[in-house]
Chain A
Amino acid sequence: MSSLAGTRAWIVNRPVDLLLAGSGLAFALYLPLALFVHGAVAPALLAFAGLLSVLGNGPHFMASYVRLYGERDTRRAHPLVAYVAPLLLAAGVVGTLVSPRGFGAWFIKAHVIWSGYHYSGQTYGIALLYCRKRDLALHAWEKWLLLGPIAFSYLLPTISFEAGQTGGAFYNLPYPTIATALHDAFGLAPPAWLNQATAWGYGAAIAAFVGWLAVRRFRGASVPLPAVLAVAAQMLWFTVVGANPTFSLFVPLFHSLQYLVVIYAFHRGAWLQEGQPLNRLARRHYAFLVLLGIFLFGAVPGVLAQYGCDRQVAYAAVIVFINLHHYMIDGVIWKLRRPELRRALVTPLEQAA
C-alpha cells in the first residue's frame, strides 16, 4: 500500500480528490443547506448558482468538445459522434425552434432522461477508476454490486416522475411525462407497483453495496474512499435532495467538478512536456473552456434570437443540443481500455511523464 501513497493513488491529490472527484464538497454543502435553507430558492442564490454554472458547468461541457475535436485521432475514431451527431442535433434544434411545444418537448425530454443516465455513468466510471488506481481487480458480480445503488438512485426519481401525471418545464417550455404521453396515445398506464418495486430494488442495492464494502474491508482490500464517496454523492444528488431545491441547483456543479478533475489529470502529462509551469497551462486551458462555454451557451442562442427566433426557445434548444452531444461524446471518449487514457489516468505520473 505504501507504494501507492504517491501520485498513483489519487487523480490529483488527496484533498482535491476527496472534495471534488469524490464530491465531498457536496456533503459539506448539503449539511448547512439542509439545516438553514428551506423553501423556495432565494434570487441571490439563484444568481450565484448561475455564476458557478458559467465557471464550472460550462467548462465541463466544453472540455469534452476540446477532447473530441482537439484530437485528430479521437475525431477519426468516432466519426458518428464527431460529425453525424451534430447534424442530427442541429436538426433537433431546428425542430424545437419550429415546434417548441411539439417536437421541442420531446427533444427536451431526451435530455432530461439521458442526463441522469449520464451522471450515473460518470459516477460508475470514477468509482472504477479509483479501484483501478489501487490495483483492485473487481469480479463482474462486484461491478454489478457497485453499479446497483448508482443505477437505482437514477431510476427511482426518474420512474417516479415519468409514472406521474405532472410534467416538467425547461426554460418555460413544458414537457410531458411518459405516463401522460402513453395515456394520450394508447390509453395505457404504468403498473401501480412500479414505483414501489423500484424503491425496494434501491433498498436491496444499497444493502448489497454496504455488505460488499464490509466484506472487502474485512478481507483487507477496501474499496477506495473516493469511490465510495462518489457513489454516496450520487445517491445524495438523486434521492436525498429532492426536498431541498436550493441544493439541487448545485448538483450540476458537483458533477462538473468531478469531470474537471479528470480532465486536468488527462492533460497533465502533455502539459508537463511543454516545459511551462503546469498551473499556468492549466489556467489558460480553463480560461479557454470558460470562454467557449459562454460563447456556445450564451452567444449562440442570442444570435438565433437576432434571426427572429424566440429567445427562451433558442436558449432551451441550444442547451439541449450541447447536453445531448456531451452525453454522446462522453459515452465514447472515456474508455479506460484505451492506452492513452490508462497512461494519463491510471499510470503513476512519474511514469507517464
Chain B
Amino acid sequence: MSSLATTARLRRFGGPLRDRLTVGPGATLLVAGLWPLLTLGLSPRLSAAIAYTLCLLFAFPHVARTWFEVYARRENLLEHPVPTIFLPLVLLAGAGMLLDAPTLLGPWAVLLYLAGSVVHHTQQTLALLAERARAAGQPLTRARPAAALLLGAAAAVAGWCVGPTPTSFYGIQPPMLPAAWRGAAYGLSVLALAGLAVWLFRRHRQGVSVREEALILAPQVLWYTLLAAAPALVLFVPALHGLQALGAEGAAGDREGIWRRYGLAFLLGGALFEALPGLIASAGIEVSTAYVAVTAWLQLHHFLTEPLRWRREAAR
C-alpha cells in the first residue's frame, strides 16, 4: 500500500489540486473559460493588461528563476560558457541592433522569439513528461512525442503570421506569410494532434497508464490550438507556461524557502521585464521597441539557459 501511495505521490509534482491546476491543464482551461468575458466583456487593452499581470506573476519570475539558478553556480559558467556567456552577449548585441533599426529587425526579432517559444515550450513539456514517467517507473524510451508537439506548435505560430492582421507583439508584427499558409497550418495542426493521439495509444498498448501523461501534454496542446485561435487568449500563453514551470519546481527542488525564492524571482522578473524597458525608453527610444528588444533578449536567453536546469534536475 505504501509503495503504491509513494508511486502516486511521485507521479505528481505537488498536491493533486496544485498539480492539475499548474502542471496540468487546469489553469489553461480556466483562462479558456474566461474567453467570453475577455473578448466580449472587456476592452482588448484591459484583457491584455490582465494577461500582462499574470505574466508578471508567473512568466517573468519563471525566467528570473533561471537567472538565479544558472548564474548563482560558478560551475555552470565554467562548464557551459557558450549558452551562459557567449550567446547571451551575442543576443545582447542583437538587441542593441534592434534598438538601432527597429523597422528592419523588429519583425524578425518577433519571429525569432515566437519560434524560440515553440521549441522552449515543447522542451518543457517533454522534460515534465520524462520526469513524471521516470517517477512512475515507466520511463520514456524512443517514443518521444517531440515531433508532434513541435509540429503542432509551429503550425500554430505559422498561422499567426498569416495576414491580413498577423498577431503582433508590443505592436510589432512578425514577417507576413502568404494566405495559403493558413490552410497548411490547420492541416499540420490536425496532423500533429493525430500523431500525439497515436503515440498515447501506443503507450497504452504497452501497458503504460497514459492518463497522467495526457494531462501533462494537454496544456501545450490547448495553448497552440484553443488559445492560439483567439487573439485575447494567446497573450496568456507565456503566463501559463511560467505557471507550469513554477508549479513543477516545488517537487523538483528544495521545498524549503520556496516562497522566498519566488519573491526574489518576482522582483527580479519585474525589474528585468518592466523596469529595464522603461529605462531604455527614458533615453528617447520608442517604448514598444524597448519592450520588444528587452523581452526578446531575456526570453531567448532564457530558452538557451533553462535546459541547463532541466539537465541538472534530471541528473539529481
> Interface residues, chain A, CB within 8 Å of chain B?
47, 50, 288, 291-292, 294-295, 297-303, 306-308, 311, 315
Beyond A307-B49, A308-B49, A311-B287, whether A302 also contacts B274 by CB under 8 A is: yes
Beyond A292-B267, A299-B278: 14 further Cβ-contacts under 8 Å?
Answer: A291-B264, A298-B270, A298-B274, A299-B270, A299-B273, A299-B275, A302-B274, A302-B275, A302-B277, A307-B46, A308-B45, A308-B46, A311-B278, A311-B281
What separation, in Å, do the CA atoms of A50 and B283 have in the docked complex?
11
Q: List 8 A-B contacts (CB under 8 A).
A: A291-B268, A294-B267, A295-B271, A298-B274, A299-B270, A303-B52, A303-B53, A308-B49
Tell me whether B56 is interfacial, beta carbon within 8 Å: yes
Say which residue of B49, B52, B271, B287 sits within 8 Å of A291 (CB atoms).
Answer: B271
| Chain B residue at minimum C-beta to C-beta distance from A288 | B264
A264 shortest CB reach to chain B, Å: 21
Contact partners of A295 in chain B: CB under 8 A: 267, 270-271, 275
Which of A295, A299, A301, A303 has the largest number of chain B CB atoms within 10 A? Answer: A299
Known: A299-B270, A311-B287. A294 touches B56 (CB 8 A): no
Find the A residue at minimum CB distance from B283: A47
Query: Is B279 close to A, CB under 8 A?
Result: yes
Q: Tell me the interface secondary structure of chain B in the complex.
A: helix
Flag if A298 contacts B275 (CB, 8 Å).
yes
In the complex, residue of chain B having the shortest beta-carbon distance to the beta carbon of A297: B275
Contact A299 B274 (CB under 8 A): yes
Q: Which of B257-316 contact A (CB under 8 A)?
A: 264, 267-268, 270-271, 273-279, 281, 283, 287
What bracket does the count of chain B residues touching chain A fall in? 20 to 34
Are A298 and B279 in contact (CB-based, < 8 A)? yes
| A301 partner, pick from B46, B278, B287, beta carbons under 8 A | B278
In the complex, are the beta carbons of A291 and B267 less than 8 A apart? yes
Query: How many contacts A-B (CB < 8 Å)?
Result: 54
CA distance A50 to B279 in the complex (A): 10
Complex partner residue of A294 from B46, B49, B271, CB under 8 angstroms: B271
Chain B nearest CB, measured from A244 CB (Å): 23
Q: Which of B30-89 contact A (CB under 8 A)?
A: 45-46, 48-49, 52-53, 56
| B274: A residues at CB distance < 8 A | 298-299, 302-303
Q: 3 smallest A-B Cβ distances: which pairs?
A: A298-B275, A299-B270, A299-B274
Complex interface: chain B residues within 8 A of A300 (CB) = 270
Residues of A near B46 (CB, < 8 A) are 307-308
CB-defined contacts of B276 to chain A, threshold 8 Å: 298
What distance in Å separates the Cβ of A303 from its nearest Cβ neighbour in chain B?
6
Q: Which residues of B contact A294 (CB under 8 A)?
A: 267, 271, 275
Contacting pair A303 B56 (CB below 8 A):
yes
Q: Establish whether residues A298 and B267, one from each chain, have CB atoms under 8 Å apart when the complex forms.
A: no
On chain A, the residues within 8 Å of B53 by CB distance are 303, 306
Q: Closest approach, in angstroms, between the C-beta of A317 and any C-beta of chain B?
A: 14
Tell me if A302 and B278 are in contact (CB < 8 A).
yes
Q: Which residues of B contact A306 (CB under 8 A)?
A: 48-49, 52-53
Once the chains are docked, how many angstroms separate the CA of A297 from the CA of B279? 11
User: In the complex, what residues of A have CB within 8 A of residue B281's CB?
Assistant: 311
Point out the residues of chain B lying under 8 angstroms from A50, CB to CB: 279
Task: Report chain B residues within 8 Å CB of A297.
Answer: 275
Q: Which residues of A contact B287 (CB under 8 A)?
A: 311
In the assembled complex, the CB of B147 is this many whole angstroms from the nearest CB of chain A, namely 37
Tell me the bound Cα distance from A295 to B278 in angstroms: 11
Q: Is the CB of B271 within 8 A of A299?
A: yes
Complex interface: chain A residues within 8 A of B49 (CB): 306-308
User: In the complex, which of the residues B48, B53, B278 has the most CB atoms of chain A within 10 Å of its own CB atom?
Assistant: B278
B265 to chain A, nearest CB (A): 10
Output the least CB separation between A236 and chain B (Å).
29
A298 / chain B contacts, CB cutoff of 8 Å: 270-271, 274-276, 278-279
Chain B nearest CB, measured from A285 CB (Å): 13
| Residues in B whose Cβ lies below 8 Å from that of A47 | 283
Find chain B residues with CB under 8 A from A302 CB: 274-275, 277-278
Chain B's closest residue to A292 (CB) is: B267
Residue of A nearest to B266 (CB): A295
Q: Which of B274, B281, B283 has the most CB of A within 10 A?
A: B274
Whole-angstrom distance between the alpha carbons of A291 and B267 in the complex? Answer: 7
A298 to B277, CA, bound (A): 9
Chain B residues with CB under 8 A of A292: 267
Chain B residues, Cβ within 8 Å of A288? 264
Q: How far is the CA of A330 from the CA of B45 in the complex (A)?
A: 39
A297 to B278, CA, bound (A): 10
Chain B minimum-CB-distance residue to A290 = B271
Alpha-carbon gap, A315 to B287, bound state (A) = 14
Chain B residues whose C-beta falls within 8 Å of the C-beta of A308 in the assembled complex? 45-46, 49
Complex Cα distance, B275 from A301, in Å, reads 9
Contact residues in A for B279 (Cβ distance below 8 Å)? 50, 298
Please measure, in the bound complex, the distance between the C-alpha atom of A300 and the C-alpha atom of B271, giving whole angstroms.
Answer: 9
